[in-house]
Amino acid sequence: MEMSNKEVLIGLLTVPPIEEVHEKVRAAWHLGKRFPVPKFKPTCPCCQSEDVIFRRMRFFLIGGPATTPYRCDVFVKCGKCSAAWTYGIVIPKEMYEANQHVGQIHRKDILAELKNMSDV
């Protein structure tokens, strides 16, 4: 049975309980003190290449009635076909607070900071 446009849209707008979101994020990402690190091998959604570059990260507080308002967008680019995409991650308050002074940080700045860190 085919779904109506309304049913499709309702399905795309409906999110699981926040506990389930946190569980899924923890399964996919290491959320340490400073930067999120994927527990999976990022691959390009267009060409499936593993030649992937994290370009920058943006830490922000989402507006509206969010249950957990702390977010990090990881901007990614494929080194093979140049496709670009974003991972939008729910992060802990502590990670947001550790990064709110930078807001958005470029990959070169992250690399420079990693030299002085024992773990992320």
Tens-digit pLDDT profile for residues 12-21: 999 888 899 9
Q: Which of 102, 120, 97 is nearest to 56 (CA)?
A: 102
What percent of the chain clears pLDDT 90, i.e. is strictly above it?
A: 84
pLDDT of residue 119: 86
Per-residue pLDDT of 82-116, as tens digits, reads 999 999 999 999 999 999 999 999 999 999 999 99
pLDDT tens digits, 15-61: 888 899 999 999 999 999 999 999 999 999 999 999 999 999 999 99
Alpha helices in the chain (DSSP H): 5-13, 18-28, 93-99, 107-114
Amino acid at 78: C
Domain assignments of the chain as residue spans, ordered by start:
5-114
Mapped onto helix, strand or coil, the DSSP state of residue 101 is: coil
Q: Which of the four pLDDT bands, split at 50, 70 and 90, describes residue 68? A: confident
Residue found under tokens 């702390």: 70
The token pair that represents 52 in the structure block: 């992937």
* CA nearest neighbour of 76 among 58, 59, 54, 47: 54
